[in-house]
Amino acid sequence: MSDETAKPTVEKIKRPQQVFTLVVEVGRSADDGLPKGATGAALMCYASGVDEAEAVRETVAILKQADLAPLDVTGYGTLAERVAQGDEIDAEERALMDRALAENSVIVAQMTPFYDKP
């Protein structure tokens, strides 16, 4: 095979990782670690990905590995998008976002359990 007939190599453009703020609602499952009497929970997560879809997929996969039952995911965008919308982001939240980016990971920052009865 000559060099003229060889297929040209296509360079993939590496898209930079970003951190997305996600709220994941989870239901109950065995060994999920949620408080007794809770019917589920909302988890505030910071997840890295090249786009929001990747961040959601990675977050759902990790939560399933932790025996949680993800039901719904709401995305709130990147740090830049949230600032542009007027969200105030404190230093602690920014530090968690930086950590998610540096570690290419999902950080669960807050868990709010749901209960049927007050």
Q: How confident is the model at residue 21 (pLDDT cuts 50, 70, 90)?
A: very high
pTM: 0.84
Please tell me which residue, 71 or 30, carries the higher pLDDT value.
Answer: 71
Residue 89 near residue 82, CB atoms below 8 Å: yes
Distance of CA 117 to the CA centre of its chain: 29
The residue among 62, 56, 67 whose CA lies nearest residue 23 is 56
Distance CA 89, CA 34 (A): 27
d(CA 39, CA 22): 20
Compute the Cα dihedral for 15, 16, 22, 26 and give only its sign.
positive
Q: What is the mean pLDDT of the chain?
A: 91
Binned at pLDDT 50, 70 and 90, residue 117 comes out as confident
14 against 108, higher pLDDT: 108
pLDDT digits (tens, 9 = 90+) for 90-114: 999 999 999 999 999 999 999 999 9
How far is it, in rounded angstroms, from Cα 36 to Cα 20?
Answer: 30
Report the 10 Å Cβ neighbour count for 79: 19
Predicted local confidence at residue 14, as pLDDT = 80
Q: Which two tokens stand for residue 43?
A: 């988890």
pLDDT band at residue 4 using 50, 70 and 90 as cut-offs: low
